[in-house]
């Protein structure tokens, strides 16, 4: 246990430190961590043996919970609504059709038994949300005809169907007495019921309990994501469907301080993605891959050039899409972590198979991410599907149009320029509003005639900034003897691109100019854009 956890921690640290540089590479960044896991593995540079499928299944399944939850939570329903019908078709009938056609290809081209063929098809039937989200956002692929939200909703919602088909085929292969229609209805009904109930209840609680602090809200939603998966699974339903639906309902609900939740789960999901891909790379034994490479190549070619285009073409034909859109949607059928996790489930069921299913699926995923993922931006550009005037971030709930209002406080000292002025007389930026005045322990809701007094604290409301990742904010405390004490701002030798945006002086906030002289005890707040 300690060894894998240590390695995962090291990889997460690498991920954070190298995130910007990795995103600039031509290949999908998740492929780097898959390769890194192989590098640490048994045949890699560090020769670390790891073949605990049970532990890998547990860690990857928990990671998938948060990937699925954030897939729902981060989807902007307003952008997705026009393509919802198409996405639902692709994530349900599309998955079933993909599983069936892939199974037929595997049966006739690889001479495999029907059940083993359909197991391969079921495991590989869903597109990968982590890979699709990662490429669309990191490469800033704003696609025409609402194609980006179509791909996001499809990839975020089709894992449950693939999981159900995998469970059903495994039940047949192990000889369990199971009714497939009843199993599918039970999985869907209980998954929808649990996800909808918990999502609505959680949104109601968050809206009613205004006294919850931001960190308490975050922990609450974190726990709800776990409960929505576990409750549905315990009842015999589809936990992934439940957690995805719960995420959609919470993400689309007008809950307070949503941006804090978005940023938290964005970080958690990135860690979950890296963890899965690294662990799956660590679990594979590269020396065993040549034995399954040829059949994996056959399956990958069929999926990419036959199965996916046929499924997409048949299901989207009634909507009269352009051939350019069909081309991009077909090419964006990336296979990823979910398929490998479902393959682990098959390995743990101990069914007899001609090929090592984990290695075969791993090769297919590797080929899909390396080939399709790397070429997706180029294919989109060649087909004229890039919309230069749009922003792919609009399809996510953390886009600035949906940003929550932020509050700042301004203490009014004896020498403050606003002292004694009426609010309507203060020249304030257009989008700023004085929401409250704190005076002698009392909260005052002001109007234009309210007079600002010494000792007041004004609470200003403004639209939050959505690009914090591009701006580094730092505080510097000036102690006795600091080289900046007694000097005006204009004489400071600041690094290029650094700006002192305010000075905290006791309870007073000073907006500095070139003549502001700094004193011991001052706290300088500086801003600098990240390279």
Return the pLDDT at 401. Answer: 44
Closest CA to 60 of 280, 390, 315, 287: 280
Return the pLDDT at 23. Answer: 64
Domain range list for the chain: 50-387, 403-466, 470-531
Distance CA 310, CA 101 (A): 9
Q: How many CB atoms lie within 10 A of CB 348?
A: 13
Return the pLDDT at 306. Answer: 96
Return the pLDDT at 183. Answer: 78
Task: Give the sheet arrangement for strand 498-505, strand by strand.
Answer: 471-477, 523-529, 498-505, 508-510
CATH architecture of 50-387: Up-down Bundle (1.20)
CATH architecture of 470-531: 2-Layer Sandwich (3.30)
Q: How many CB atoms lie within 10 A of CB 296?
A: 22
Return the pLDDT at 27. Answer: 65
Q: End-to-end alpha-carbon separation of the chain, Å?
A: 37
> At the top level of CATH, which class does the domain 403-466 belong to?
alpha beta
Structure confidence by residue, pLDDT tens digits, 247-263: 989 988 888 777 778 87
Q: How high is the mean pLDDT in each 10-residue block of the chain (531 residues)?
A: 68 69 67 82 76 84 88 76 89 95 96 95 89 75 86 84 90 80 84 94 87 82 95 91 91 79 83 83 88 96 96 95 94 89 90 91 92 91 85 55 65 88 87 88 89 91 65 80 89 83 80 88 81 53
pTM of the complete model? 0.73
Fold agreement between 403-466 and 470-531: yes
């Amino acid at each position: 246990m300690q060894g894998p956890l240590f390695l995962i921690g090291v990889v997460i640290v690498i991920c954070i430190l190298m995130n910007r540089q990795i995103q600039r590479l031509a290949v999908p960044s998740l492929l780097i961590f898959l390769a890194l896991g192989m590098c640490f593995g048994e045949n890699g540079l560090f020769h670390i043996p790891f073949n605990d499928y049970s532990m890998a299944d547990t860690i990857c399944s928990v990671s998938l919970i948060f990937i699925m939850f954030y897939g729902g939570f981060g989807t902007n329903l307003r952008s997705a609504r026009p393509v919802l019908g198409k996405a639902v078709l692709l994530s349900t009938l599309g998955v079933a059709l993909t599983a069936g056609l892939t199974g037929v290809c595997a049966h006739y081209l690889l001479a495999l038994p029907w059940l083993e063929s359909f197991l391969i098809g079921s495991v590989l039937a869903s597109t990968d949300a982590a890979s699709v989200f990662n490429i669309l956002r990191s490469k800033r692929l704003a696609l025409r005809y609402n194609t980006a939200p179509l791909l996001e909703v499809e990839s975020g919602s089709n894992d449950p169907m693939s999981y159900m088909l995998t469970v059903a085929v495994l039940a047949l292969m192990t000889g369990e007495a199971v009714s497939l229609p009843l199993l599918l209805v039970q999985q869907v009904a209980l998954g929808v019921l649990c996800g909808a109930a918990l999502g609505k209840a959680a949104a109601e609680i968050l809206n009613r309990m205004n006294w919850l602090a931001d960190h308490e809200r975050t922990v609450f939603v974190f726990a709800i994501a776990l409960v929505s998966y576990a409750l549905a699974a315990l009842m015999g339903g589809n936990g992934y469907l439940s957690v995805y639906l719960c995420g959609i309902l919470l993400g689309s609900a007008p809950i307070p301080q949503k941006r804090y939740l978005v940023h938290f789960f964005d970080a958690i999901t990135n860690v979950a993605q890296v963890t899965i891909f690294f662990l799956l790379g660590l679990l594979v034994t590269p020396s065993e891959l040549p034995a399954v490479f040829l059949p994996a190549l056959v399956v990958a070619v069929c999926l990419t050039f036959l199965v996916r285009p046929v499924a997409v073409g048949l299901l989207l034909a009634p909507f009269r899409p352009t051939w350019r859109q069909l081309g991009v949607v077909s090419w964006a059928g990336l296979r990823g972590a979910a398929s490998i996790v479902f393959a682990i489930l098959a390995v743990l069921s101990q069914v007899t198979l001609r090929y090592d299913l984990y290695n075969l699926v791993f090769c297919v995923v590797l080929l899909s991410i390396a080939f399709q993922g790397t070429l997706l931006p180029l294919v989109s550009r060649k087909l004229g599907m890039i919309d230069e005037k749009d922003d792919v971030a609009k399809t996510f709930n953390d886009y600035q149009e949906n940003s929550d209002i932020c509050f700042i406080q301004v203490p009014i000292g004896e020498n403050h320029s606003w002292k004694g002025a009426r609010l309507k007389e203060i020249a304030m930026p257009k989008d700023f509003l004085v929401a409250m005045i704190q005076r002698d322990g009392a909260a005052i809701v002001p109007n234009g005639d309210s007079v600002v007094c010494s000792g007041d604290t004004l609470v200003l409301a403004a639209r939050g900034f959505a690009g914090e990742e591009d701006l580094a904010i730092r505080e510097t405390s000036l102690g006795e003897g600091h080289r900046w004490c007694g000097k005006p701002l204009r004489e400071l030798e600041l690094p290029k691109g650094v700006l002192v945006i305010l000075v905290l002086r006791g309870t007073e906030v000073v907006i500095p100019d070139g003549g502001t002289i700094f004193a011991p005890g001052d706290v300088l707040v500086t801003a600098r854009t990240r390279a």
